[in-house]
Amino acid sequence: MLEEMMRYRGLAPTTRPAGGLTLVELMVVIAIIAILAVVAGPSFLQELQRRRAESAAEAAYQVFSSAKQAAQRLSSDVFILIDSGAAWNVWVSPAFPCTNRSPADPNCSVGGIAARSEQYPNVTLTSPGSSAIAVRYRNGGFQSIDNPTAAQVVLLFSVPTGYQLGIAATPNGSFYVCSPTAETARHPKC
């Protein structure tokens, strides 16, 4: 009876068609998505940069591995040439010094084995000493040309968020991905 009276006076509840959204509901959904993007965006970017540093370190690891294999295959010394900075390169060379010092020069490269900065945006490579160093693989071990008595050679890959990973190569021929700040679940301390 109450419903009939409301209908008579024009106060009956309105029904809306099933399956549609009102403008208010749509705006609430958009606001929630915007809030989630603002909260999750920086974390996503940090993770993306961390993954780029890890990928760059893994690529350099592969260059060290390839150098070891090339030295055994060629039965001679090979060199890992490293240009550090924002436009970095790490590559295997049959000779040191190289005239053009470029991974693109066939006289300065063994089979095009290289890792380059353009493959890893926002990843910077730093190395101890100068911006251009060389590491020799000889008699089963890695040795810095710039500092032959060094216990190990460490290359550091870093991103703008401050995350760093390194590659350490030792005179006994071992090399590994490491963390310069502290031991992590995945990487030992350099």
Give the span between the Cα atoms of 67 and 143, in whole angstroms.
12
Name, in order, each residue with C-beta under 8 angstroms of 113's C-beta and a sequence gap of 6 or more.
62, 63, 66, 67, 70, 91, 92
For 166-176, how does the pLDDT look when each residue is reduced to its tens digit (9 = 90+)? Answer: 888 888 888 89
Q: What residue type is assigned to position 10 of the chain?
A: G
For 95-146, how does the pLDDT look when each residue is reduced to its tens digit (9 = 90+)? Answer: 777 767 777 777 777 777 788 888 999 999 988 666 677 888 887 888 888 7
pTM: 0.73
Give the span between the Cα atoms of 190 and 177, in whole angstroms.
8
For 22-80, how does the pLDDT look when each residue is reduced to its tens digit (9 = 90+)? Answer: 888 889 999 899 888 888 778 888 888 889 999 999 999 999 888 888 888 888 888 88
Give the span between the Cα atoms of 140 and 113, in whole angstroms.
19
- Find out whether 124 and 13 touch, Cβ atoms under 8 Å: no
Give the span between the Cα atoms of 98 and 138, in whole angstroms.
18
167 closest CA partner among 110, 84, 98, 77: 84
